[in-house]
Structure 1
């Protein structure tokens, strides 16, 4: 039985390996997704103790929440899952807009409850900050929903430190989600000190740098998807990033695990991080992510990985 960890100051106890569900019904993110395969990934996760499921309105849009809701309903055991979802996007004929207004957030929570076929959401994030709404007012609206029992805990995502401080003026923010990996460590300097002091838990996305930290690429690799626009894949740094990854391969080989497992295990040694949410496109990948829990890093190995990716 996997030992569950507490997420920050919340009363949520989860497997430290969660499941990022953007490939469950995320048709706007990945072409040709099989919806039944998405439902099966959710079932596989829950069957194997992966109880923290991370989704969002914009995955689909809406469809990821709906498919997770299908599985929750068929299983009839709402308490086995800890559901995190997010909202901020408004879809218009001109494209997407971001809205953090109290009225919008309250409407978004009601609509997410319907799609998830549940009467409460364990963790609800403001997905992106808008430019108009005072952040403490936005979080205040979520606090009202918490008091009404519709959500249990409050998160914000993609906020700057200044926006996070404003959002947490009344101490209501429990969790922050943002980009963080060994090749993008700005959050350590900008966010972690404040969050650790406030006992706000950090949930990283892009933990494997869109596959670069898995060690599966070499210098001949080319990309014509979203990776081509990411900073760690740019020509001027791609080769040096690959070299850094290769420097830690011996650690994985010595433990008989994949590079990804070592990288994910390293994140769990950070004080600000309680749970990680690697994604998957197949049920086997959901199970493979769990092998991270078999990895124990010595202090020397932790320091070595830190040094390699500091430069």
Structure 2
């Protein structure tokens, strides 16, 4: 499955499977990361024709962007879709800042770190408390007109904030927490996004590893956000997904990713990776064609979440 999708109303087009890069240079977020592993992760993604790379200033305070920029020097930039984000102000203790001047300066800084003259998707990473959201987006619209960015995104915004930000219908894409066990966005965001032609990208699609199938009924203390009863239901649901994975000669993770890829409400799914082998494995999800019955079966297994 190599279906290409358009990002909102922009001219950006990409495949349905991307790469989340918080473990590429994200030394402030994860322990024991090696820059060399980060470079290999990016190389493997490009080798597997995973063209969308999703990064952010906050991933290593610019280090993730720098690693990606270094790797891309040896590749055809026009075949890569770069998405990055900003909001944490390095000159103000990383407090959130959506002011137009800050966002414009952040675009320029990201361009330098990524060693490119344009960014395909630029997100406001988190909303601050004071800046009118339509003014923040207008600043990015000016960057778009200047050719510095190609599509405008917001991340971690409530529906009310998205509507304010999209006052002039300039938002192309929204990124937020969503997975088969965290489905609030289906009711809270999807109807408005569909109505406005805005693409959606879920982060934590594998629910911090829970949906990979590597955890057992005894690991519930690692996932305190779920009650014991909820956790048991998830594990039992994954047992049924495991049966489906055997039929497709695949892993649970690959089946779950294939479900997102087949989901018309989702633009691009961006699982992360700590090692290049995980990227290679995730890419196999593109080869899985779930039947409508299988898609609905997975959907129903996790319906209550």
Instruction: Name 2:62's counterpart in structure 1.
Output: 62
Post-superposition offset of 1:240:
2.5
Q: Please list, as runs of the form range in 1=range in 2, the aligned pairs for 1:175-214 lying within 5 A after superposition.
A: 175-214=173-212
Tell me, in whole angstroms, the C-alpha distance in 2 between the residues paired with 1:76 and 1:264: 26
Instruction: Name 1:9's counterpart in structure 2.
Output: 9
Check whether the contact 1:196–1:271 (CA below 8 A) recurs between aligned residues.
Answer: no
**Does 2:304 align with 1:308?**
no
Tell me, in whole angstroms, the C-alpha distance in 2 between the residues paired with 1:132 and 1:306: 39
Structure 1, gaps ≥5 residues long:
none
SS of residue in 2 equivalent to 1:53: strand
SS of residue in 1 equivalent to 2:30: coil
Tell me, in whole angstroms, the C-alpha distance in 1 between the residues paired with 2:302 and 2:237: 7
Instruction: Name 2:50's counterpart in structure 1.
Output: 50
Check whether the contact 1:167–1:173 (CA below 8 A) recurs between aligned residues.
Answer: yes
TM-score (norm 2): 0.95
Post-superposition offset of 1:92:
6.2
Instruction: Name 2:261's counterpart in structure 1.
Output: 268
Q: How many residues align?
A: 304
SS of residue in 1 equivalent to 2:128: coil
Check whether the contact 2:220–2:228 (CA below 8 A) recurs between aligned residues.
Answer: no
Post-superposition offset of 1:272:
2.2
Q: Please list, as runs of the form range in 1=range in 2, the aligned pairs for 1:96-107 lying within 5 A after superposition.
A: 96-107=94-105
Post-superposition offset of 1:235:
4.3
**Does 2:24 align with 1:24?**
yes
Post-superposition offset of 1:220:
2.1
Post-superposition offset of 1:267:
1.4
Of 99, 108, 113, the match for 2:106: 108
Q: Which runs of 4+ in 1 moved over 4 A?
A: none
Tell me, in whole angstroms, the C-alpha distance in 1 between the residues paired with 2:267 and 2:174: 11
Which string of whole-angstrom CA distances, capped at 9 and with x for unpartnered residues, describes residues 285-307 of structure 1? 11111111111111111111111
Which string of whole-angstrom CA distances, capped at 9 and with x for unpartnered residues, describes residues 100-122 of structure 1? 11011011111111111111100
Post-superposition offset of 1:266:
1.1
Check whether the contact 2:220–2:231 (CA below 8 A) recurs between aligned residues.
Answer: no
Post-superposition offset of 1:91:
3.8
Which string of whole-angstrom CA distances, capped at 9 and with x for unpartnered residues, describes residues 15-72 of structure 1? 2111111111000111111101111111121122111000000000110001001112
Post-superposition offset of 1:242:
1.4
TM-score (norm 1): 0.93
Structure 2, gaps ≥5 residues long:
none
Tell me, in whole angstroms, the C-alpha distance in 2 between the residues paired with 1:298 and 1:77: 35
Tell me, in whole angstroms, the C-alpha distance in 2 between the residues paired with 1:83 and 1:304: 34
Post-superposition offset of 1:202:
0.3
Of 167, 170, 187, the match for 2:168: 170
Post-superposition offset of 1:180:
0.5
Instruction: Name 1:158's counterpart in structure 2.
Output: 156
Instruction: Name 1:288's counterpart in structure 2.
Output: 281
